[in-house]
Amino acid sequence: MTSPWMPREVSPHTSRLLIERAHEEFVTGNRADRRVDDVRPLVQDSWRRSLASLVGAEDLPRLDLAADELEAYRQTHPLAGVMDMVRALLLPGTADESGVVVAVGDAAGRLLWVEGDRHVRTLTGDMGFVAGANWAEDAVGTAAPGTALALDRSVQIRGAEHFNRFVAPWSCTAAPVHDPETRRLLGMIDVTGRDEAVTPQAQLLVDATARAIEGELLVSRLRDRASSAPPRPGRGVRRADTDRATLRVLGRDKALLEVAGVGGESVSELSARHAEILLMLATHRQGLSAERLGELVYGDPDTADTLRPELVRLRKVLERVAPQLVPASRPYRLTGPLETDAGHLVSLLDRGAHRVALAAYRGPVLPDSVAPGVEQLRESVRSALREALMSEASVDVLLAYADTDDGEHDLDVLRLCLSLLPARSPKRAGLVARIERLEG
């Protein structure tokens, strides 16, 4: 089947260079500059909302849904049952070579499905356009997914009209999707690509797809009622509000335990030993025997007399700050969900969000810990980051990695950067000098 995203002439619009300059003046506070007046009012208003939300022009989207949480949420989301329709209408034929990426998100702006052209997904994933990331307007600024939700209507955002400079190479069309009976906002659909993603035909197609989705939801609902069948998965079941706990261990000698829920938020600093134990339990969700946990923490399986009182103290701490995380025994295990920033980083790499992953890397896992299990995890995270960036990241992300403590002395990384830079790039001379110093 022929792709609907064949290259077409784009409607006339303000030049990219003018918008870039207008954006620079707007962000720096010079909103009276005459070039700003040439920017579409829709975009100007969105830029104002972005600034009011304290969004930075280089802020990267946050990952709101970890891998397991994302999968559970997707299964119960109202739009889960219409994904085949979305694919058929927006990605017919060979989706991997369509030239665009199609995203479906929830009413909060979180992307739940991101599919389409493999090459484009790699490039857009680099800026954090991945499943689980938050693309609401108050998170990343002007972009079709979030702005369509903010205005509750379809919008097109072209290149430099984006508030975030990392998104400026791309253009996108998005439309909101509503509950066909209550008109409650359910989410949005978005098409991202180059110029072909913002043609008038693209907007007509995205709008038509949103209406088709609403029609299908209504037909399915009426069919369920007629047959007296219970609601099927993806027919409006909402995820229960639960406390969300995150253990932050990247670049920290003492971990932070953050707990957020309906009762508010709390942050607690853990001792080095408690951090090691909790991190091992979070990493080994299947549970650990006393011997194995002792080996991972102390390097010796015969440490039950030392481990047991430490666990008693950890339980007392958790009973006060996060009772849902108090470990069970035989085997030792967590019965409640606990995410880690190290796990988030690996999840970002798996989804291709290289730039966001690098920004999230605050340093090695518990850098001063000598617990064998922590040392193994530390090296695993460091290697995963390095290998993913070297194999898939864009050259500017790789250059940023080369400026970190992990990358600055890595000859392979520096040589790869040099090979990827254009022949006349002014950055080549500095790289050559760094390589010569390390080799000499």
How many other C-beta atoms lie within 10 A of the C-beta of residue 231?
Answer: 12
Statement to judge: residues 283 and 321 lie in one domain: yes
**Structural domain contains residue 401:** yes
Statement to judge: residues 347 and 335 lie in one domain: no
Q: Name which of 46, 98, 263, 85 is nearest 177 in CA terms.
A: 85
In the structure, what pLDDT confidence band is assigned to residue 260 with cuts at 50, 70 and 90?
Answer: confident
pTM for the whole thing? Answer: 0.73
**Structural domain contains residue 190:** yes
Beta bridge partners of 250: 365
pLDDT at 239: 40
pLDDT in tens, 22-62: 778 777 776 666 777 888 999 999 999 999 999 999 888 98
How far apart are the C-alpha atoms of 11 and 240, rounded to whole Å?
Answer: 44
Q: Give, as one character, the DSSP assignment of residue 166.
A: G
Find out whether the peptide bond into 367 is cis, omega within 30 degrees of 0. no
How many other C-beta atoms lie within 10 A of the C-beta of residue 122?
Answer: 15
pLDDT at 225: 77
Q: Are strands 339-340 and 244-248 parallel, antiparallel or unpaired?
A: parallel
Q: Are strands 256-261 and 244-248 parallel, antiparallel or unpaired?
A: antiparallel
Domains contained in the chain, number: 3
Which residues, in sequence order, are CB contacts of 214 under 8 Å at separation 6+?
Answer: 177, 178, 179, 180
pLDDT at 17: 75
In the structure, what pLDDT confidence band is assigned to residue 1 with cuts at 50, 70 and 90?
Answer: low
pLDDT at 310: 93
Look at residue 236 and tell me whether its pLDDT is greater than 50. no
How far apart are the C-alpha atoms of 359 and 362, rounded to whole Å?
Answer: 7
Statement to judge: residues 29 and 166 lie in one domain: yes
**Structural domain contains residue 232:** no
Beta bridge partners of 265: 260
Q: Give the largest Cα separation in the chain, rounded.
A: 79
**Structural domain contains residue 427:** yes
How far apart are the C-alpha atoms of 390 and 344, rounded to whole Å?
Answer: 19
How far apart are the C-alpha atoms of 352 and 129, rounded to whole Å?
Answer: 9
pLDDT in tens, 271-293: 999 999 999 999 999 999 999 99
How far apart are the C-alpha atoms of 220 and 307, rounded to whole Å?
Answer: 55
Statement to judge: residues 348 and 264 lie in one domain: no
Which tokens is 130 given? 């991945």
Q: How far is CA 138 from CA 16, 233, 250, 355, in A?
A: 24, 30, 26, 20
Statement to judge: residues 329 and 249 lie in one domain: yes
Contact 31, 43 (CB under 8 A): no
Specify the range with the lowest mean pLDDT, choosing from 36-50, 177-191, 216-230.
Answer: 216-230
The residue whose two tokens read 């007296």 is: 228
Look at residue 18 and tell me whether its pLDDT is greater than 80. no
**Structural domain contains residue 313:** yes
How far apart are the C-alpha atoms of 327 and 281, rounded to whole Å?
Answer: 8
- Of 226, 261, 280, the position where a domain reaches its end is 226
Statement to judge: residues 80 and 163 lie in one domain: yes
Look at residue 140 and tell me whether its pLDDT is greater than 80. yes
CATH number of the domain to which 254 belongs: 1.10.10.10
pLDDT at 12: 47
Q: Name which of 67, 71, 93 is nearest 4 in CA terms.
A: 93
**Structural domain contains residue 135:** yes
CATH number of the domain to which 125 belongs: 3.30.450.40
Q: Which residues of 308-339 are buried (b: 16+ CB within 10 A; e: fewer)?
A: eebbeebeebbeeebeebebeeeebebeebbb
Statement to judge: residues 64 and 175 lie in one domain: yes
Statement to judge: residues 198 and 274 lie in one domain: no
Beta bridge partners of 339: 246
Statement to judge: residues 415 and 311 lie in one domain: no
Which residues, in sequence order, are CB contacts of 437 under 8 Å at separation 6+?
Answer: none
pLDDT at 2: 61
pLDDT in tens, 313-351: 999 999 998 999 999 988 999 988 899 999 989 988 988
Statement to judge: residues 333 and 379 lie in one domain: no
Alpha-helix runs per DSSP H in 181-249: 200-226
Statement to judge: residues 31 and 150 lie in one domain: yes
How far apart are the C-alpha atoms of 76 and 239, rounded to whole Å?
Answer: 7
Specify the range with the lowest mean pLDDT, choosing from 16-20, 120-124, 134-138.
Answer: 16-20
Statement to judge: residues 175 and 305 lie in one domain: no
**Structural domain contains residue 256:** yes
- Of 281, 304, 339, the position where a domain reaches its end is 339
Q: How far is CA 21 from CA 25, 27, 160, 278, in A?
A: 6, 10, 9, 49
Look at residue 72 and tell me whether its pLDDT is greater than 70. yes
**Structural domain contains residue 134:** yes
- Of 170, 193, 226, the position where a domain reaches its end is 226
Q: Please give the share of the chain, as a percent, with pLDDT higher than 70.
A: 91
Alpha-helix runs per DSSP H in 98-178: 118-125, 137-140, 144-151
Domain boundaries, position 283: 244-339
